[in-house]
Structure 1
Amino acid sequence: MGFSLTYDLEGAGWAMAQIQDGDEKFDITVSYLHDSLRELGEAARALRGGAESARVVFMDEPGEIQLLLTSSESGLDYELRWFDDWNSWGMHPDDKFESVHRGTTTVPRFFGEVLKEFEALLADHGEEGYREKWHESGFPSDLLLQLRNKPKAESGPGE
């Protein structure tokens, strides 16, 4: 099956992300304390644009999962790291984590999965419904527009 991603709003200020790699599934609790959806979109955009790496933080209360993405000869390597406290806020050492899973996908696959989840969240909740459930930040419509548009380097002649 390969790499897949889901991202669903669960309630006031909470979301659930899931990364699936073949038969292995990893559920990730997401708190409103960090805008993980926007960070997923920014990572997808950056990697599609040629960035060599990106990081996405999924804050829990307490702790966090970090999704580290690195371009390699084999595609796009990724690692899920669990930190017992908020490493991204400087409250936990960089070298004190548990590596939960490592895998490989491709930039187009990762990008497609992120775009699919952006579209699904907007269709399911709308901008206003998203804001009501998420509280801290609104739906990143500006970023969705950027994800929908092909960069000039990806456009063919006459497009």
Structure 2
Amino acid sequence: MAPRLDFTFRLSGRGWAEAAISDGTNTTSMAPSFLSDALGDLLRAVNRVLAGAREAECTWQEEPGVDRWHLVREEDRVVLRVFAVDDDVEGETELVFQTRQTLPALGDAFLRGAQAVLDHYGTERYRNTWVEHPFPTEELELLRRRLQHR
């Protein structure tokens, strides 16, 4: 049985966030910028996999560098990998996190993490602080509905 997956996301300044993901054994943290819709893109990728897609991916801009989230569905489980891609060294990619989770455990981790963001900031404060992108309300509600039907 895989350890519980935990995901946190908090706004650390205008247009900046800090995020972390851990499964109790592996942990990584990231600092995405508003150049990508980090939380919204991630929830969209999770929703695609929960809806039956074999793979889904999203990229977070870090300035410099990017974090690439890659989800691969294996029947009732998902392998989640996060890669750090260095802008300064062409092609330099490092696997910084990997876990294998059930579909409900994966979805629940991101539902809890995103709901905590909404509870803390609300939609208006989130938009004012994150700058370029609104809180991904529709993606969060879709994730909630998908998990209720599992």
Superposition TM-score tier, normalisation by shorter sequence: 0.7 to 0.9
* Distance (Å, rounded) in 2 between the aligned partners of 1:112 and 1:27: 19
User: Which one-letter code corresponds to 1:111 in the other structure?
Assistant: G
Q: What is the aligned-residue identity percentage? A: 30
Structure 2: which 5+ residue stretches go unaligned? Answer: none
Q: 1:35: Cα distance to partner?
A: 0.3
Q: What is residue 31 of structure 1 aligned with on the other side?
A: 33
Q: 1:124: Cα distance to partner?
A: 0.6
Q: 1:23: Cα distance to partner?
A: 3.3
Is the 1:77–1:104 Cα contact (8 Å) retained in structure 2?
yes
Q: What is residue 11 of structure 1 aligned with on the other side?
A: 13
Structure of greater relative contact order (alpha carbons < 8 Å, 6+ residues apart): 2
- CA distance change for structure 1 residues 101 and 139 in 2, over 3 Å: closer, same or farther? closer
Q: What is residue 128 of structure 1 aligned with on the other side?
A: 124
Q: What is residue 80 of structure 2 aligned with on the other side?
A: 78
* 1:48-87 CA-partner distances (Å, limit 9, x unpaired): 111111112121011011111101257211222111129x
Match of 2:105 among 106, 109, 123: 109
Is the 2:79–2:101 Cα contact (8 Å) retained in structure 1?
yes
Structure 1: which 5+ residue stretches go unaligned? Answer: 87-91
**Which structure: larger Rg?**
1
* Distance (Å, rounded) in 2 between the aligned partners of 1:31 and 1:82: 14
Q: What is residue 143 of structure 2 aligned with on the other side?
A: 147
- CA distance change for structure 1 residues 148 and 79 in 2, over 3 Å: closer, same or farther? closer
* 1:101-158 CA-partner distances (Å, limit 9, x unpaired): 3221122111111111221111111111001110011112222222222489x37xxx
Q: What is residue 63 of structure 2 aligned with on the other side?
A: 61
Give me the TM-score of the superposition, normalised by structure 2. Answer: 0.87
* Distance (Å, rounded) in 2 between the aligned partners of 1:50 and 1:73: 9
Q: What is residue 133 of structure 2 aligned with on the other side?
A: 137
* Distance (Å, rounded) in 1 between the aligned partners of 2:99 and 2:146: 27
Is the 2:7–2:21 Cα contact (8 Å) retained in structure 1?
yes
- CA distance change for structure 1 residues 77 and 122 in 2, over 3 Å: closer, same or farther? same
